[in-house]
Structure formats: structure tokens, C-alpha cells
Chains A and B, each alone.
Chain A
Amino acid sequence: MPTVSYVAFDGTETIVTGFAGDSVMETAVRNGVPGIVAECGGSLSCATCHVFLCAESAGLFPPKLDLEDDMLDGTAVDREDNSRLSCQLKLTDDVSVHVQTPETQV
């Protein structure tokens, strides 16, 4: 099963076992991982599930589409080269994903 490591702004790490097909956002929210808000539930409307995708996990997901790219332009903490909206990162079997969450999402 896939696992996701969420490292918060203060360095606290939360590791969650997820399910293939679920997103990195859904996996966080359902398990109450702090640092990801996701008000719109994954419909690419709010940009409050912003994460920084660690380099070793970058190859696990398809590149972002234009809409995600546009939404990342308005995140509460400014985007970096490795910024993604975690609702767009779908887990696949047995992957091990590492992300950092920003100081704030709103």
C-alpha cells in the first residue's frame, strides 16, 4: 500500500498509509493531518492543499496541468519550483511519497 510522509513547517512528520487511487490531499484530510485544508474537496477551486513535493517523489506523478499551474499562482505561501496541489497527486500501488506542507494555506 502507498505511504505518504507529510512534514509540517515546524518539522513534525506524519506518516499515513493510503490507498491507490486516493490523492495525497484526500489521504491527509481523512486522517486529520494538519497543514492541508482543501476547502474545495479536490475540484481545483481553492489552492489550499498546496504542498512542496520532495525531489525523490517528483517522478511519481504526471506533470501539472494548466489549471493547477494557474491556481498555484495564488497560494497563501508563495509557490516554489516543486509546488503542487496535493489533490492532483494520485497515489499508485506501493509508492512512498514525501511532501512538505507550507506554514499556512489561507
Chain B
Amino acid sequence: MGDTTAAPRLGTLIIGNCQAGVQLASTLRELGDTDPITLVGEEPHAPYQRPPLSKAFLKGEATADSLAFRTHDFYREHSIDLVPRERIFRIVRNADGGVATAESGRTFAFARLALTTGAAPRTIPFEGSELEGVSYLRTATEATVLEQQLREARNVVVVGGGFIGLEVAAGARAAGKNVTVLEAAPRLVGRAVSEQTSEFYLQAHRRRGIRVVLNAQVVRFVGEHDRVTGVELGPRDGDGSGEIVAADVVLIGVGVVPRTELAVQLGLEVDNGIVVDARALASDGLTVAAGDCANMPNPSIGDFGVGRIRLESVQNAVEQAKVAAATLLGLPAEHRTVPWFWSDQADLKLQIAGLSGGHDRVVLRGEPDSEKFSVLYYRGGRLIAADCINSPLDFMAVKNALHKGLSVPADVATDTTVPLKKLLAAVETADAGRAVPAPAAVDLAPPAVPVPAGSPAA
């Protein structure tokens, strides 16, 4: 090639073909970006929804194909180059952008870089972890194996009483398995919900026949012929010691850790995820990050804590990816939706609206034993979040209230004869004329630092 040959036009490289990655690529196109977009990831599948992996997938009701976010035609028509099965391990930045190198040796030159690297299961090196039948759950490939193992299993042990573990446990129990949940902490889902909600899930799962052991200490996994046969527990108060819980399948679900290895290599600030500002920009002022891997300011936190948080949710991945896409194009970004989460555990539908961190009061609305109730969280007299169990009306009311900056007085919220929506409306009327600001809908300032090299606005 001669010197007159134009260099190929460089565009955006998105590392991580997941919810945030697909959203980022889609939003770039929606915002009018016509530069090349490459979406590269380790998995063999086109990007797919992860939440069903611990639910419908294990019932045989979904596949990676059926869970795909977009058709292949969509990627083609939008000129989004989808590259599966490539694990990027090195990135070198230069004046024009940079080059990422995959383990296969393939290189990807870029003008703009987005990290949507997600998170990986937190692993615990228990003795016996290599036994067949012991697994973690994050990918469709892992879910496919687990689904087959569960079908033939009689005794299922779940290590970790968080959302993933309880979803799998509830599904296995509904399918008639003997199920034991081993939780190291004194209560279930301790990281995400109040004590009231934890206690409800303990009772509800026990009612359904799941054995739940709290304060459980896993010593090791035992097996025969390379297959797991049980989980050995340490001594507990008032209990014997060295109990071995029978297990054909062991699922370990003890949380995730953000995938920050590339960010570290790039010298980006990392602290429980890739530290980004309100526009999803990392500490180099060039790279954006979004989704489970990013630790970002969130307007829903208000004045609690340090003002930033790393969230693991669909809503968060979508929201941050939209912000990141706008930032890459030098456009102002608006972080406007209320954080929300869901967990379907057999017939128990949990919907969480808002962030409950820093709450100073908890109000119970409804009777937990009825399996239809909500836990409302307040801070400084203001509603900030709710856990809603089989109570979609409460969930929608709280989510909308937080979006509009409304509240409901704690003392009337317990009255289940009145829809929450009505109580929220009453507050709105009472506050009319006082111009209550809406904390969940904050316009983010336009870029204050130079926009990334190569962006249309640069």
C-alpha cells in the first residue's frame, strides 16, 4: 500500500458483549454516530439476557438464542461488528485512540474505548471445588451444564443465600429436589434487603421445604469418583460438628467481583469497580465504563455516603450505557431513572425500587405471613426505597414516587386498605406550590473536560 492510502476510519471499541455493551452500541447509533462500532466479548453467544439464567433457563424454558437481545440482522443493519470468543488481555493507548489485543493475537484499533466488562462470580477455594457437580452461575454455558445436572439431581446444595442462590434453590425445590441453602451470614440476602425481608424469605423458603442453614461454615466438598457427594459443615452452636449435607449438585453463589483487570492495566482508578464520574468517564478522562464493572455517582443516593455506588442490575447497566454513549459523542447525558431490581423465587415475586442505604426507619406495609407485603425505607422522614413482595401495585407506586421526588408519610403507609398511589398523590397535593425538587431526575452538566479524542465534537 502506498502512502496515499487513507487509514481505515477508527471508531468505538466496546469490550464486553453484555447488556451494557449492547445498549451502548445501540445508543451510539440512535444518537447518530456513523463511525465503526465493534462489540467484542469472550462468550460464544451473541449478547443475551442474564437474569433468566437462574430462573426460566434452569427450567428448560430458555436458551442463549431465545434470550438474545437483538437479531443478527439488527447488528448487521446498524453496522455493529459483533465479535464473540475473543478475550482482550492488553490495551495500549496512543494519541489517536489505541489498540486492544486478544489472546488469539487479533488486534482491534480504536478511536474511542468503552469498558463493559461486567463482573465475575466471587470464587472461594473450598477443598473439593474441582469435583464434578460443583459450579458457579454467570454465563449461558454454565447455565446449560447446571440445567442438565439439576434435571438428574436428587440433592441440591446452594452455597450462598443471595438472590442467585435463592432463585436456583426455589426452582429446584419446585421441581421436587431436596434443597439445602447454606448461608454464612446470620440472615439471607443480607447485602440487599432489610432484616424484615430477610426473615420473610427464611420463613417462606422453609415453608416450601427448603432447608436453610444460617451461620453455616462450609469446610469442604466431599466426593467419590471425582463427583461431588456432599458438603461438610463446620461445628455450630448447639449442633454437632462435621455434618455432611448430601449433594449431587452444589451451586456456589456468593456474589460477584467487578472485572477491572483491563482498567488496572490502563492505569485507571479502581475502587470496587472502575471509578467513573457522572458522565461515565474513567480517571483518564477518555475511557468510559458502564454496568456491573463501573462505580458511578448516582443521583438516587442523595447525600448518603460518598455519593457513588456500584450496582448490579439491568436498569443500571442500561442507564449507565446510555450516559456513556452520549459522553463518547460529546453530548450531555442525563441520568434519569430510579434504580430498581427484581428477583423471582418460585412463586415469590420481589421488586425493589430505590436504594435503601442509610435508611433510618423501616415501615412494614401488610403482613409478611400473607406473602404479600412491602417494606418501606425512610431516611430523614422521606421515602427512599421499598422491597415489595407479591405487591406490584406498591412497587410501581414507589418507583413512580421516587421518579417524581414524592414521598408518603410513614404513619399512613401501613394502611393497606388505601392504595399507596393514593397516599403518594395526597402528599403531592399537600406539597403543591412548594416546588419539591425531583432528586431522581438530575440534568448532568455538559462536559467540563475535553471530550475523548476522535469524537465528532473534538
Contacts and interface: CB of A to CB of B under 8 A. Distances in A.
A60 to B, nearest CB: 22
B224 interface: no
A87 B269 CA distance: 40
A49 to B, nearest CB: 13
Contact of A31 (B30, B71, B393): B71
Contact of A74 (B55, B349, B400): B400
A46 B340 contact: yes
A93 interface: no
Contacts, number: 67
Given A40-B342, A45-B349, A70 B393 contact: yes
A72 B315 CA distance: 19
A29 B69 contact: yes
B52 interface: yes
Contact of B68 (A30, A39, A45): A30
Given A30-B71, A32-B70, A106-B336, A71 B49 contact: no
A39 B318 contact: yes
B74 A32 contact: yes
A31 B74 contact: yes
B30 A34 contact: yes
- What is the predominant secondary structure among interface residues of chain B facing chain A? helix
Nearest to A22: B66
Contacts of B51: 40-41, 43
A75 B396 CA distance: 8
Contact of B342 (A43, A73, A74): A43
A45 B56 CA distance: 14
Interface in B400-416: 400, 403
Contact of A45 (B70, B71, B351, B393): B351
Contacts of A31: 70-71, 73-74
Contacts of B315: 39
Contacts of A47: 396
B325 to A, nearest CB: 14
Contact of A46 (B67, B74, B342, B344): B342
Nearest to B401: A74
B342 to A, nearest CB: 4
B26 interface: yes
A55 interface: no
Interface string A2-35: 0000000000000000000000000001111010
A5 to B, nearest CB: 18
Contacts of B26: 32
A46 B340 CA distance: 9
A89 B421 CA distance: 27
A40 B352 CA distance: 13
A44 B55 CA distance: 14
Nearest to A27: B71
A41 B337 CA distance: 17
Given A45-B392, A70-B392, 19 more contacts: A30-B71, A31-B71, A31-B74, A32-B70, A34-B30, A39-B315, A40-B51, A43-B55, A45-B342, A47-B396, A67-B349, A71-B396, A73-B393, A73-B396, A73-B421, A74-B395, A74-B397, A74-B399, A74-B400
Interface of B: 26, 30, 49, 51-52, 55, 67-71, 73-74, 78, 314-315, 318, 336-337, 340, 342, 344, 349, 351, 392-393, 395-397, 399-400, 403, 421
The 6 A-B residue pairs with the shortest CB-CB distance in the complex, in nearest-first order:
A74-B396, A45-B342, A70-B392, A41-B49, A30-B71, A106-B337
